[in-house]
A and B are shown apart, each in its own frame.
Chain A
Amino acid sequence: MTAAVEPASALPRGAVTLRGVRKVFGGSGEAATVLQDLDLDVAPGEFLAVVGGSGCGKSTLLSLVAGLVEPTAGTVRVGGKVALMFQEATLLPWLTAAKNVELALKLQGVARRERRDRARHLLGRVRLGRYADKRPHELSGGMRQRVALARVLAQDAAVVCMDEPLGALDALTRDQMHDLVEDVWLEARFTVLFVTHNVREAVRLADRAILMGDRPGHVVHEQANAMPRPRVMDSSAVAMRSAALTQSLKEEVASHDQSDYFVI
């Protein structure tokens, strides 16, 4: 790969490249190396799941890609704009669902009338057309996360970073969100970096899952997944793949006696 020497503009839209990335937080006194020697290539339009135990640097990886933090060493290159989705929907409580989506458009300089139409359209896309004028506190957790998804779509980003976006939802709502996220992604074909600690979720959604080990964070295992879509969370095929990935995860975490996890 010659990507590392190419100028940023030459990176295709939606591509993400990390080379020799190291990230150290804190000063020289009690510095913590969160990521070490991280190399990662994500193809345009790929759905990548990032799986790992807590504290393995998954979220830091997303922050680097989103440009929220700078790497201590190495290069992070992204082809195009990045949108973020968090575990909390983070809707502004003083705005209606539609206005929350419109804000993303407004900050991109989209004209007022077009803003309104596009926000309504996007809310319809996440099946919330009837709730456009509701305030966040009038919506359920799953609905709020759908508004957040509509807002991500409004940003028209090449890469979408999702940091455990469905972690706080109940199982049924999560299943529906899997369908919706997949549906929207298949249509818009942005690149997704999807952080989760739920192995099945990774198998359900992703083209490829990377497993990260901790202290410091690095990629320990990779599993490509060409299973046909849509995949069913409770199917035996998903379960078998999940079991293999879970085994790797267990082996990885068990190799660190300092880990939060343990094996019985």
Chain B
Amino acid sequence: MTSPTTSSSERQAPPLDPIDAPEPRDARHRSLLRAVGAPLTAVVIFVTAWQLLVASGWRPDYLLPGPAEVAGRLGGILADPEFWPALARTVSRAVIGFAVAALIGTAVGLAAAGSALLRASIGSLITGLQTMPSVVWFPLAILLLGLGEQAIAMVVVLGAAPSIANGVLSGVDQLPPAYVRLGRVLGAHRVSLYTHIVIPGALPAYVAGLNQGWAFAWRSLMAGELLVVIPGASGLGNRLGFSQEFGDAAGLLAHMIVILVMGMLADRLFSTWSHGLRRARGLAADR
């Protein structure tokens, strides 16, 4: 009962007028705390729960190793000369697949946004595709293109493109009509209206679509690398699969951590971009 009262009285009461706030030091301190403290807390909670699970003896050590053992194994993996080419291969598959998806998704989205007929016919199809788990495409992709790079690429593209097209469409839909009217008043025609008003106006929603598209691409790629093994060209997903096949639980968990971190890094990249855009437009508070 008493602890919340004391902690709140210890904290300095915020000044009534934000202009009076003693800005830089305090704010920097707080943002540093948020940037470092929050993820650190998450790691501590996760590792503790993991350690407790291991200590409970639910599964033997060789199936469920503890954080310390996995950390050691992770160090070994990072020192493994075969790891980095595999990581590079996976990243390049993701980036190339995502780039192709971005091209296709953007083109389809812009075409659909520009034509009522296309919009009506393709719009629901795009949404439908978005709800479909991309793994579902694999049997077809393997049948059409064989067990190889192309099958993986096809599924990555098909997984990501609908989200990106949808991002374009929602960006155009959310554009205030007053901007379009302004563009016309200022003398913009079809193409210049797109380049100066519609596209920059739709950019925040488009970036959100790219972010979601990237997430789908990454998921599709991991599924693909688990399903499709290309001799001499294994990626992160393949290594994950091998770890399971060889009963290397610590290696498996270490690879999962690598995949998690890669995903988080990419997400951070997109959210920085998106936040920057929104802040420049006065849509988000300074962090």
Query: Residues of A at under 8 Å CB distance from B?
Result: 66, 68, 83-84, 86, 88, 90, 92-95, 103-104, 106-108, 135-138, 151, 155
Query: Residues of B at under 8 Å CB distance from A?
Result: 178-179, 181-182, 184-188, 192, 196-197, 200-201, 203, 277, 280-283
A107-B192, A135-B282, A138-B282 known; A90 vs B186 contact (CB < 8 Å): no
Q: Using Cβ atoms and an 8 Å threshold, which residues of chain A touch B178? A: 86, 88, 90
Q: Using Cβ atoms and an 8 Å threshold, which residues of chain A touch B179? A: 90, 92
B281: nearest chain-A partner, CB-CB: A93
B186 touching A92 by the CB < 8 A rule?
no
A92 touching B200 by the CB < 8 A rule?
yes
Q: Say whether chain A's binding surface is mostly helix, strand, loop, or mixed.
A: loop
A104 touching B186 by the CB < 8 A rule?
yes
A92-B197, A94-B200, A107-B192 known; A83 vs B282 contact (CB < 8 Å): no
- Closest Cβ–Cβ distance, residue B226 to chain A (whole Å): 41
B282 touching A137 by the CB < 8 A rule?
yes
> Quick one: which of B185, B188, B280 contacts A66, CB cutoff 8 A?
B185
B282 touching A136 by the CB < 8 A rule?
yes
Q: Using Cβ atoms and an 8 Å threshold, which residues of chain A touch B188? A: 107
Q: Could you list 22 examples of A-B contacts with CB < 8 Å?
A: A66-B185, A68-B181, A83-B185, A84-B185, A88-B178, A90-B178, A90-B182, A92-B200, A92-B201, A94-B200, A94-B201, A95-B200, A104-B186, A104-B187, A106-B196, A108-B187, A135-B281, A135-B282, A136-B282, A137-B281, A137-B282, A155-B186
B185: nearest chain-A partner, CB-CB: A84
Report how many A-B pairs have Cβ atoms within 8 Å: 47
B183: nearest chain-A partner, CB-CB: A107
B196 touching A107 by the CB < 8 A rule?
yes
Q: Using Cβ atoms and an 8 Å threshold, which residues of chain A touch B201? A: 92, 94
- Closest Cβ–Cβ distance, residue A60 to chain B (whole Å): 15
Docked CA distance A104–B188 (Å): 9
> Quick one: which of B182, B185, B186, B281 contacts A94, CB cutoff 8 A?
B281
Q: Using Cβ atoms and an 8 Å threshold, which residues of chain B touch A88? A: 178
B196: nearest chain-A partner, CB-CB: A103
B184: nearest chain-A partner, CB-CB: A68
Docked CA distance A86–B196 (Å): 20
B203: nearest chain-A partner, CB-CB: A94
Docked CA distance A151–B185 (Å): 11
A103-B196, A107-B192, A107-B196 known; A93 vs B282 contact (CB < 8 Å): yes
- Closest Cβ–Cβ distance, residue A221 to chain B (whole Å): 30
Q: Using Cβ atoms and an 8 Å threshold, which residues of chain B touch A68? A: 181, 184-185
Q: Using Cβ atoms and an 8 Å threshold, which residues of chain A touch B186? A: 103-104, 107, 151, 155
Q: Using Cβ atoms and an 8 Å threshold, which residues of chain B touch A135? A: 280-282
Closest 9 A-B residue pairs measured CB to CB?
A137-B282, A93-B281, A107-B187, A84-B185, A107-B186, A90-B182, A94-B200, A90-B178, A104-B186
- Closest Cβ–Cβ distance, residue A143 to chain B (whole Å): 13
Docked CA distance A29–B185 (Å): 31
B182: nearest chain-A partner, CB-CB: A90
A82: nearest chain-B partner, CB-CB: B185
Q: Using Cβ atoms and an 8 Å threshold, which residues of chain B touch A90? A: 178-179, 181-182
Docked CA distance A29–B282 (Å): 44
Residue of A92, A95, A151 with highest tally of chain B CB at under 10 A: A92
- Closest Cβ–Cβ distance, residue B198 to chain A (whole Å): 11
